Structure 1
Amino acid sequence: MGAGTNEGRRSGAGAPRDALSGARADVSTPAGVARLLREQYDLDLTDLERFEGGWDSAATMWTGVDAGGARYALKITSRDVQFGLSLAGSTGLAAAGGVLQPVPTRDGALWATAAGHLITVSHWVDGADAVDLGPDHVDWHELGRVLRAVHDQPVPEGVRPQRGGIRRSSSSPRALIDTVDRAYRHGVAPDLTRRW
């Protein structure tokens, strides 16, 4: 998948076909999503419905339940998130805990493709969105432990990150810190001091 673009691939004679059946893939309706999940993931989910959430504005999110009552999340995106999925699916992170593992496809892949989109499935995690809770409800030590585990992982083979590394600035670190200090000088500093 390219740099997250999808021009000319959504309809018409050149529309992509489902990788397994050869039929034109449909990822916009509950019936089409259910079919894709059966064919690519061997999952038979009911009560499929869209939901809002996540940081990927190019994604459509679905949730559904299997016969045993387990809930799953499905993400359909035009963005290239293969690097992050490969990292999340690494055995080292699975052992470390704290990182949601992708559910593998029927052939063991961490994602599927259909209709020019990348499809991922994970087990549903109940609870409030961390963004809605705010910084006082974060277990900072646990977050640090998980981030350490992520950074200790080797770079996944066969996929490339979308960005080539940290964005650089021509400003000195001192100038950058001064800019932040000026922006938050009034009213924010006491609140941050209490938190830290």
Structure 2
Amino acid sequence: MNWPPVPQVDLLEGLHLRYGVLATELRLLSDGLDEAARTFRVGVGNGPDLALRLAAGDPRPVTYFVLLHLRDRGVDAVVAPLPTMTGEAFVRVDGLTWSLYPFFDGADGWTHGMDVQAWHNLGSALRAVHDVPPADAVVPREAFDVTRYDGLTAWNAASR
């Protein structure tokens, strides 16, 4: 993907206007698996660092809502987006989807492997995720409206 350049001053201003964050430092991170996204480590002075994710293409709101739903039900292992100043999970700016998260510094299990305790922690996190009932607003409900298929019976009979 040909990634559009975003000036650092625009990122700093956007963080302040949209999230109320006065960033003191931005550093582009590498090692992401999503070619359509970029992640920046955001330094905020005396506060904890944050992670700003910019993604190209249309957002999938359900992705954010699932994370928020799990976090709101006490699943601490899930990293959910921080709200914008207007309470949204993400914001669209010049064709990019911005989302802001707490930053966690450390090694990932993909490239560095996992010890037995890490596997147990992962299992506990997955158990917690699966114990949370889905939210009606997140899970689409099928109406099973088959009236549009009524014509298939006549078509099928005529084709024999």
Aligned to 1:21: none
TM-score, normalising length: structure 2 = 0.72
Question: Displacement of 1:102 after TM fit?
Answer: 1.1
Question: Displacement of 1:138 after TM fit?
Answer: 6.2
Question: Displacement of 1:95 after TM fit?
Answer: 1.2
2 CA distance for matches of 1:56 and 1:63? 16
Aligned to 1:85: 64
Aligned to 2:24: 46
Residues 96 and 105 of structure 1: CA distance in aligned 2, closer, same or farther (over 3 Å):
same
2:6 maps to 1:28: yes
User: Using CA pairs below 8 Å that are at least 6 residues apart, which structure has the higher relative contact order?
Assistant: 1
Q: Deviations over 1:97-152 (max 9, x none)?
A: 11112111001111111111111101110111221112446622221222222233
Count residues in correspondence.
Answer: 135
CA contact (8 A) 1:53 1:61 kept: no
Provide the alpha-carbon RMSD of the alignment.
2.4
Question: Displacement of 1:71 after TM fit?
Answer: 0.7
Identity over the aligned pairs, expressed in percent? 25
Aligned to 1:98: 77
CA contact (8 A) 1:83 1:156 kept: no
Q: Which runs of 4+ in 1 moved over 3 A?
A: 91-94, 135-138
Unaligned stretches of 5+ residues in structure 2:
141-160
2 CA distance for matches of 1:157 and 1:47? 37
Aligned to 1:22: none
Unaligned stretches of 5+ residues in structure 1:
1-9, 11-26, 161-196
What does 1:153-168 align with in structure 2 at a 5 Å threshold? 153-155=133-135, 157=137
Of 136-145 and 110-119, deviating more is: 136-145
2:71 maps to 1:118: no
* The structure with more radius of gyration: 2
TM-score, normalising length: structure 1 = 0.60
